[in-house]
Amino acid sequence: MSKLNHTELIKQEATRLGFSFCGISKADFLEDEAPRLESWLSNSMHGEMKYMENHFDKRLDPRLLVDDAKSVISLMLNYYTVEKQKDSEAPKISTYAYGQDYHHVIKGKLKELIFFIQDNIGEVNGRGFVDSAPVLDKAWAKQSGLGWIGKNANLITKSNGSFFFIAELIVDLELELDNPMTKDFCGTCTKCIEACPTDAIVDNHIVDGSKCISYYTIELKESLPNDMKGKFDNWMFGCDTCQDVCPWNRFSLQHQEPLFNPHPDLLEMKKQDWEEITTDIFQKVFQKSAIKRTKFSGLTRNVDFLKD
């Protein structure tokens, strides 16, 4: 089989597994990203996320992650939903955390994909990555032609906006490459910059992670800073503001992944339910959710911080 046949076979299987987009780029050094990452870190925009300082070279070169790597297969999985929390006064949860933890869902799909490649193409070595390893997901998705990186630093597609998880399969197999996305379709729009509750979007395409509500409510383990009081726009886990106002997300479509459907009780919970949440309810509702990452103590800290 030819490179083209291999590529078509992989993309067909990715679609069958439920991935919305699949693009291929050459496993090479991300030269343009090196100074950006270095500047972002040197300006302490990663806050207390000290792990971002580790494996600098690996973040830029996939050949240091997979021996003899030839191709980066970038994959995107839609998580957008029209469903919302019923109580408009209830503390808000980012849409991506409504269903089961995407790390587990996508890792299962990546394993299926690599097994498929090995069964149908031959002895191929590869590793799957989902947001929990030193891989610059958005840079590779852009390099694979799947979209552009917007002013809010999210990967945006012209066809369906930005409510997507991004994953990679790095393999030692040569494949047909897709053309990188070279255009930026944000134009003069500044809606995300203007809407950000904490002014975390400090420049076009640059987000100061240490000012982002998602950072405060998920990554920061210590007490929330008093000068942020009243600025969270009622977000208790993550934040979707910059995506909600993005004009490209008017093209978002309801996801088709049952595992991303919310727990039956989640959307029904009222403001008082969140303020009086117990460990038993937390375990019941978020047993398989990404929200477990912040733990019960972190979630109640966030809810308390939102109180008047």
Question: What pLDDT digit, counting tens, does each position of 124-147 carry?
Answer: 999 999 987 899 999 999 999 999
**Arithmetic mean of pLDDT, 174-194:** 96
Rounded (10°) CA dihedral 290, 194, 76, 177: -140
**Arithmetic mean of pLDDT, 2-10:** 97
4: helix, coil or strand?
Answer: helix
Q: With CA atoms as reference, report the closest residue to 291 among 79, 10, 102, 57.
A: 102
Mutual angle of helices 102-120 and 3-16, in 10-degree steps: 140
Sign of the dihedral defined by the CA atoms of residues 234, 43, 294, 56, in that order:
positive
Active site residue 265: no
Residue 1 has pLDDT above 90, yes or no: no
Q: What is the C-alpha separation between 288 and 306, in angstroms, rounded?
A: 25
156 close to 149: Cβ distance less than 8 angstroms:
yes
Sign of the dihedral defined by the CA atoms of residues 143, 145, 151, 156, in that order:
negative
Mean pLDDT of the residues in the chain: 96
Scan for tokens 């580790």, then name that residue.
54
**Arithmetic mean of pLDDT, 172-193:** 97
> Strand 235-237 and strand 21-26: pairing?
unpaired
Residue 5 has pLDDT above 90, yes or no: yes
Total-model pTM: 0.95
Neighbours of 187 (CB within 10 A): 8
Residue 204 has pLDDT above 90, yes or no: no
Question: What pLDDT digit, counting tens, does each position of 92-124 carry?
Answer: 999 999 999 999 999 999 999 999 999 999 999
pLDDT for residue 132 = 76
Q: Among the options 32, 68, 131, 265, which is catalytic? A: 131
pLDDT for residue 277 = 97
- For the chain, how many residues are written? 308
Give strand ranges (E) for 130-207: 148-149, 155-156, 164-171, 201-203, 206-207
Structural domains of the chain in order of their starting residue, each with its CATH number: 3-86+95-171 (3.40.109), 191-246+263-306 (no CATH)
96 close to 290: Cβ distance less than 8 angstroms:
yes
Q: What is the C-alpha separation between 196 and 233, in angstroms, rounded?
A: 9
Q: With CA atoms as reference, report the closest residue to 17 among 141, 110, 124.
A: 110
**Arithmetic mean of pLDDT, 156-172:** 98
Banded model confidence at residue 162, pLDDT cuts 50, 70, 90: very high
Question: What pLDDT digit, counting tens, does each position of 66-89 carry?
Answer: 999 999 999 999 999 999 999 999
